[in-house]
């Protein structure tokens, strides 16, 4: 957790009580004036006036707190703001505070980043290590309305703990509804590789094939990009499963601006990662990711290393994307330019993960040295 990081301010600000419409008191001084002068004061002894004033002030503070609580999280950033991916990373010491059993782990998984492997491992470990494993069957509702967010927060908080919950869902801040936050974990992947894998996965993977005309189904990723089809070259495409700006929203959140490729979305994502997320791995270093899970959450992931060694290859092959054609260098250059923000976030997460892993290894080595008899 960053001690010196400012919480961003919201693009929408709560209504100020100084901007009255005649129905709300404009200031506490008006109440004082009402009770301290004129004929009204004759009906209120001094003690009664003090009690009544305290009551008015209390109600004012309650209303103010309510409006502040439901207001969106602040974000003091704009599309023109400088990017802060050089933000100091969380230290291993700060993250290891979560090495007790948190009541809820929430894996708001990004598609095609090795998530099926982790789900299989967690499913088995739930029965071994004694936690509730909940696998969501909602796959294409990534962002929610305000009431849906509240309902979801209530649903998760009502589940039996300790809980491992997974779902494809953009980050949600439970605290704005006055509820405890789960501990978030995730894993991401090289942005272009993820897009290519998803593109072919939804065309040819048994059990996951989307309805498309045959001509469109057989269109290669290169043809999609070079032909400037919206599915590949627009941030959001024509549906929730199309477009190229797809990873940052999982960490930015539920606000509309999080689904647009701007510096504001990137900065909010980085802020949320440093405040709410524990382990975020990268699929190119999956073995190390598995190690960190067992280290950070031993009560959930005790034995995951042995299980991954035994089952990893089988699970990976089961869910590997078939009929995938690698993009050309020219297409990679086109998409790298479009994915500048996604790559900036990817390298921030990768650097953060590698720092955590190095600190973990140092800690384990130091512990082993301390415990070894001389």
For residue 162, is the peptide bond before it cis, meaning its omega torsion is within 30 degrees of 0? yes
Kindly state the tokens that stand for 197.
């894998």
Which stretch of DSSP H or E encloses residue 281? strand 277-282
Cβ neighbours of residue 324 under 8 Å, at least 6 residues apart? 196, 197, 200
3-state secondary structure of 279: strand
What angle do helix axes 191-204 and 340-371 make, rounded to 10 degrees?
110
DSSP 85: T
Look up 37 and say whether it is catalytic. no
**Cα distances (Å, whole numbers) of residue 107 to 134, 166, 220, 273, 278:** 10, 5, 31, 13, 11
The maximal CA–CA distance of the chain, rounded, in angstroms, is: 88
Task: Render 15-69 in DSSP notation, one character per residue.
Answer: PPTTS--SSS-S-HHHHHHHHHSSGGGGGS-HHHHHHHHHHHHHHHHHHHHHHHH
Helices then strands, counting H and E runs in the chain, come out as: 16, 5
Strand partners for 277:
184
Exactly one of 37, 84, 135, 168 is catalytic; which is it? 168
Known catalytic residues are 168
């Amino acid at each position: 957790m960053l001690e010196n990081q400012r919480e961003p301010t919201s693009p929408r600000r709560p209504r100020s009580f100084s901007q009255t419409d005649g129905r709300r008191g404009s200031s506490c001084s008006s109440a004082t004036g009402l009770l301290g002068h004129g004929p009204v004061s004759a009906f209120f002894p001094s003690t009664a006036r003090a009690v009544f004033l305290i009551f008015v002030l209390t109600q004012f503070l309650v209303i103010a707190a309510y409006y502040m609580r439901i207001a969106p999280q602040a974000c003091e950033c704009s599309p023109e703001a400088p990017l802060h991916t050089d933000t100091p990373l969380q230290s291993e010491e700060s993250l290891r505070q979560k090495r007790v059993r948190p009541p809820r782990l929430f894996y708001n998984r990004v598609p095609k980043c090795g998530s099926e492997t982790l789900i299989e491992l967690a499913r088995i470990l739930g029965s071994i290590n004694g936690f509730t494993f909940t696998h969501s069957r909602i796959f294409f509702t990534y962002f929610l309305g305000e009431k849906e967010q509240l309902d979801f927060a209530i649903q998760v908080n009502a589940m039996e703990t300790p809980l491992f919950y997974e779902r494809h869902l953009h980050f949600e801040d439970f605290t704005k509804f006055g509820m405890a936050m789960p501990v978030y974990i995730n894993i991401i992947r090289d942005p272009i590789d993820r897009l290519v894998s998803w593109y072919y996965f939804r065309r040819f993977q048994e059990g996951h094939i989307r309805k498309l005309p045959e001509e469109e189904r057989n269109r290669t990723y290169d043809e999609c990009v070079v032909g400037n089809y919206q599915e590949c070259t627009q941030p959001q495409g024509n549906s929730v499963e199309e477009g190229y700006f797809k990873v940052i929203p999982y960490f930015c959140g539920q606000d509309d601006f999080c689904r647009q490729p701007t510096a504001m979305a990137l900065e909010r994502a980085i802020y949320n990662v440093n405040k709410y997320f524990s382990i975020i791995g990268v699929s190119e270093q999956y073995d190390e990711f598995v190690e960190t899970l067992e280290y950070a959450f031993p009560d959930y992931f005790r034995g995951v290393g042995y299980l991954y060694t035994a089952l990893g290859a089988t699970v990976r092959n089961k869910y590997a994307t078939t009929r995938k054609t690698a993009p050309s260098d020219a297409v990679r250059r086109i998409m790298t330019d479009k994915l500048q923000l996604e790559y900036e976030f990817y390298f921030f997460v990768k650097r953060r993960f590698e720092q955590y892993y190095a600190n973990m290894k140092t800690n384990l080595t130091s512990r082993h040295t301390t415990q070894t008899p001389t």
